[in-house]
Amino acid sequence: MPFAGLGLHFVIAAFFAIHAIRSGRNMYWLLILFSFPLIGSVVYFFAEYLPELRHTRGGRKLVASVRTALDPDRQLREASRDYEISPSAQNRARLADALLAKGQAKEAAEHFAICLKGPLSDDLDIQWGMARAQLQAGQGAMALKTAQSIATVNPAFHKDAISLLIARAMATGSDVAATRRAFEQAIESATGAQAYAWYVQWLLQMGDVAMAQQVKAQLDKISKHWPAHAHDLNREWLKMINGAMRGV
In a domain, 153, yes or no: no
Cβ within 8 Å of residue 45, ≥6 positions away: 16
Residue 99 has pLDDT above 70, yes or no: yes
Residues 197-239 pLDDT 10s: 999 999 999 999 999 999 999 999 999 999 888 888 899 999 9
Q: Which of 49, 70, 91 is the last residue of a domain?
A: 70
Q: Residue 13's pLDDT is what?
A: 83
Q: Residue 47's pLDDT is what?
A: 78
CA distance 20 to 36: 15
In a domain, 38, yes or no: yes
Report the half-sphere exposure of 183 (CA within 13 A, side-chain side): 25
Q: Residue 66's pLDDT is what?
A: 57
Residue 7 has pLDDT above 80, yes or no: no
34-43 average pLDDT score: 82
Residue 133 has pLDDT above 70, yes or no: yes
At 39, the pLDDT band (50, 70, 90 cuts) reads confident
Residue 190 has pLDDT above 60, yes or no: yes
Query: DSSP alpha helices (H): ranges in 119-172?
Result: 124-136, 140-153, 159-170
The three-class DSSP label of residue 71 is: coil
Look at phi and psi of residue 247 and say left if phi exceeds 0, alpha if psi is from -120 to 50, else beta. left
Instruction: Answer positive or negative: Cα dihedral of 71, 106, 144, 180.
Output: positive
CA distance 147 to 165: 7
5-9 average pLDDT score: 62
28-36 average pLDDT score: 84
Residue 165 has pLDDT above 80, yes or no: yes
60-74 average pLDDT score: 63
Q: Which of 70, 92, 110 is the last residue of a domain?
A: 70
159-188 average pLDDT score: 97
CA distance 117 to 7: 60
At 3, the pLDDT band (50, 70, 90 cuts) reads very low
CA distance 110 to 104: 10
Residue 60 has pLDDT above 60, yes or no: no
Q: Show the 3-state SS of 96-131.
A: HHHHHHCCCHHHHHHHHHHHCCCCCCCCHHHHHHHH
In a domain, 141, yes or no: no
In a domain, 100, yes or no: no
Give the DSSP H or E segment for 205. Answer: helix 194-205
131-152 average pLDDT score: 97
In a domain, 80, yes or no: no
Q: Residue 2's pLDDT is what?
A: 46
Name the packing angle between helices 194-205 and 209-223 (round to 10°).
170
Q: Which of 39, 70, 101 is the last residue of a domain?
A: 70
Give the DSSP H or E segment for 14. Answer: helix 2-22
Range of the domain at 26: 2-70
Pick the most confident of 4-13, 30-39, 85-94. 85-94
In a domain, 25, yes or no: yes
Residue bearing the bigger pLDDT, 72 or 134: 134
139-159 average pLDDT score: 97
CA distance 150 to 166: 11
CA distance 139 to 162: 16
181-203 average pLDDT score: 96
In a domain, 23, yes or no: yes
Q: Residue 167's pLDDT is what?
A: 98
Say how many domains are in the chain: 2
The reported pTM is 0.73
The fraction of the chain above a pLDDT of 70, given in percent, is 89
In a domain, 198, yes or no: yes
Instruction: Answer positive or negative: Cα dihedral of 49, 52, 54, 58.
Output: negative
**179 phi and psi, to 5 degrees?**
-65, -40
